[in-house]
Amino acid sequence: MFVFQFTATSGGVYFDGMNTESSTPVPDSPSPSPSTSTEQLTAPAEVAVTPTPRFTGCRAALRWTARVLSLPFILTYSIVMIQAVFSGDYPGKSDMITGLSSLFALLVAWRWELVGGGLMLLGSSVTACVMRMQEEPWAFYIDWMLGFLFLASGSLSMAVRPAASAKALRVGRTLALVFACLALASLAGCFGSGAYRKFNG
């Protein structure tokens, strides 16, 4: 933009031209906003929540009940065996076989419940038939109770698998109920045999 200034002198009229555009700064035009059609809109990721299978709590309760009740027997058998090794005073052959087999079955049951529970029932039943349950019959009932508890927990593990079919769920639940009832019957037999020996001993 030019501004003309007229000056009157004795010799004539003069004018000066001055460019005012350079003195006024021109603001920069804002950059065009990016088109929304090219923006990548990421949707929040959906987290798939897997529902907890039924009877999970019952299975955990059975498992830890069997483990807690079997822990004193594991410690007792271990202490007796370690003491016999260091002292050289070994119990009888039958007692050694019974103690070692019981300890082995309990340790297996902590890792594989069905296998360990089956071994406990088999060993206790064979020993009870050989000894005719004449000495400490309550111990046999305790072994059977622990074996049935481990079997109940192992059977219920088939029902809590995410990919378990309806048939596996039904079979596992039925077996767990049967073994739990047998465990309660073994506990009742333990108290019944103790009361019988007390009043008729």
Separation of alpha carbons 83 and 88, rounded Å: 8
Query: Is the full-model pTM beyond 0.85?
Result: no
**What's the chain's length in residues?**
201
Orientation of helix 93-111 relative to helix 137-157, angle to 10°: 20
3 forms beta bridges with 18
Contact 183, 145 (CB under 8 A): yes
Residue-wise pLDDT tens digits, 117-161: 999 999 888 888 887 777 777 888 899 999 999 999 998 887 777
Q: Is the model more confident about 69 or about 59?
A: 69
Residue-wise pLDDT tens digits, 54-63: 777 888 888 9
Separation of alpha carbons 120 and 106, rounded Å: 7
Question: CA torsion angle for 173, 174, 177, 182 (degrees, to 10)?
Answer: -140
| Percent of the chain scoring above 70 in pLDDT | 70
Separation of alpha carbons 119 and 144, rounded Å: 10
How does strand 2-8 pair with strand 13-19? antiparallel
Measure Cα distances from 155 to 53, 62, 89, 112 in Å. Answer: 15, 11, 41, 11
